[in-house]
């Protein structure tokens, strides 16, 4: 039985990692090449909010603890993904990811979305699109 939000069978694990880290580093292995944060849910441009979370670690069953993915303390979102995440609509968020990227999100990405939902620390913080709230951030 599937544990995915939309009931689909799991896809193969890959190494895509999501979410900003407190030191200002953006952990996103999908061709990030800008000083601006990308959406941590669809990897698209136009992030204009972030959801504060208590950092957590995700481990794939075949990984050792030292090779886990640490979430970071902010999950960036564009307006559409932010609305879906805020409403807890992970199945719709997955469909948006497919629409933007042409492929389903990794199991790791979905695990991070769930972790963000469980470790969320309040309301989203909004900022002007085209700006970087990580700039000059103190760790």
| C-alpha span between 79 and 125 (Å, rounded) | 12
Asked if residue 116 belongs to a domain, the reply is: yes
Asked if residue 13 belongs to a domain, the reply is: no
Identify which of 71, 35, 34, 68 has the alpha carbon closest to the alpha carbon of residue 52: 71
Question: pLDDT by residue (tens digit) across 21-62?
Answer: 444 444 444 334 457 888 999 988 889 999 999 988 877 666
Asked if residue 15 belongs to a domain, the reply is: no
pTM higher than 0.75, yes or no?
no
Domain around 66: 49-126
Asked if residue 138 belongs to a domain, the reply is: no
Asked if residue 136 belongs to a domain, the reply is: no
Asked if residue 113 belongs to a domain, the reply is: yes
pLDDT at 65 over 50: yes
Asked if residue 12 belongs to a domain, the reply is: no
Asked if residue 131 belongs to a domain, the reply is: no
pLDDT at 100 over 60: yes
Identify which of 6, 11, 93 has the alpha carbon closest to the alpha carbon of residue 60: 11
Cα angle 96, 11, 77; round to 5: 30
At 67, is the pLDDT very low, low, confident or very high (cuts 50, 70, 90)?
low
Total structural domains within the chain: 1
| C-alpha span between 115 and 56 (Å, rounded) | 7
Q: What is the DSSP letter of 106?
A: P
């Amino acid at each position: 039985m599937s544990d995915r939000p939309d009931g689909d069978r799991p896809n193969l694990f890959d190494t895509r990692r999501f979410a900003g880290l407190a030191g200002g580093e953006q952990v996103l292995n999908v061709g990030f090449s800008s000083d601006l944060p990308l959406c941590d849910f669809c990897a698209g441009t136009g992030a204009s909010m972030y959801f504060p979370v208590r950092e957590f670690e995700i481990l794939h069953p075949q990984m050792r603890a030292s090779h886990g993915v640490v979430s970071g303390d902010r999950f960036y979102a564009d307006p559409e993904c932010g609305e879906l995440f805020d409403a807890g609509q992970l199945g719709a968020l997955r469909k948006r990811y497919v629409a933007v990227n042409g492929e389903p999100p990794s199991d790791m990405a979905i695990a991070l979305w769930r972790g963000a939902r469980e470790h969320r620390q309040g309301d989203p913080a909004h900022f002007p699109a085209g700006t970087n709230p990580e700039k000059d951030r103190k760790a």
